[in-house]
Amino acid sequence: MKAMIFAAGKGTRLNPFSYALPKSLLPLRGRTVIDWILLRLQEAGVREVMINLHHQGEKIQKYLGNGSGRGLSISYSPEKELLGTGGGLKQVEEFFEEGTFLVLNSDMYFEFALAELVARHRERKAEVTLVLKAGMDTSLYGGIYIDGEGRVLSLGREKTGTGRLYLFTGISILEPAVFSYLVRKPSSVIPAYRQMASENRPVFGEIAAGRWEDLGTVANYLSASNIP
């Protein structure tokens, strides 16, 4: 199985920490943030990883190399201009032509088992599965509403229907069908998910059990690092 890590962002909300290092290389509990993500991917059986690069991307590439020292094959997708999650994913479409794959943001820490979530995705014959967390504040990013069967009703700040509200963790499990909804220009992947859901494609939310922490702000990073 393959995965993509979105690591091109400037991480401005993490300044001054992200002045010297890209956010994915910040230290966290004895590893870098991206090493924790790679560890979880390996545990799920991922062996090939694509990472998009922009802000201080050369430092990420120098640190990880081709991934052989970590038992992985790591490729890179440099972006002269930031393409966002939608455009960045579309740019590497050929890398993901075959079968199920994962995409993840690079500013988080989590402990849940991705393999179980992938198995559920395949069991449902989903084209998109958004990994969700219950009982968390959705005011900053908006939430994901799902119905009783787990189908996504709406994404972001606009609510559709009477579903239950959850936080999107920034982890998606996808099938190549998503690429027909993406464009090769700066864009978010969320409108593609939204359009697929509106067309009644199999777009599901899966609630993850286990620790998940957003590292995208200084306060959250310090809290996750157990720094007072």
How far, in Å, CA of 118 to CA of 173, rounded? 7
pLDDT of residue 11: 57
Angle at 87 between CA 90 and CA 20, to 5 degrees: 120
How many other C-beta atoms lie within 10 A of the C-beta of residue 10? 14
pLDDT of residue 156: 72
| Tally of structural domains, the chain | 1
Digit-coded pLDDT (tens) for 147-157: 999 999 988 75
Alpha carbon distance, N-terminus to C-terminus of the chain: 39
Q: Output the CA torsion 86→171→19→10 (10° steps).
A: 10
How many other C-beta atoms lie within 10 A of the C-beta of residue 170? 20
Residues 6+ positions from 14 with CB-CB distance below 8 Å = 23, 26, 107, 215, 216, 217, 218, 221
- Could you identify the residue written with the tokens 């099938």? 175
pTM, to two decimals: 0.93
How far, in Å, CA of 129 to CA of 86, rounded? 16
Q: 26: domain range?
A: 2-224
pLDDT of residue 55: 82
User: CB of 130 within 8 A of CB of 206?
Assistant: yes
pLDDT of residue 141: 64
The segments of the chain whose pLDDT lies below 50 read 227-228
pLDDT of residue 157: 56
pLDDT of residue 162: 64
pLDDT of residue 138: 72
pLDDT of residue 228: 37
pLDDT of residue 161: 56
Burial of 147 (0-12, 13-18, 19+ CB in 10 A): middle
Q: What is the token pair recorded at 27?
A: 């230290």
Check which CATH number belongs to the domain holding 27 and give it.
3.90.550.10
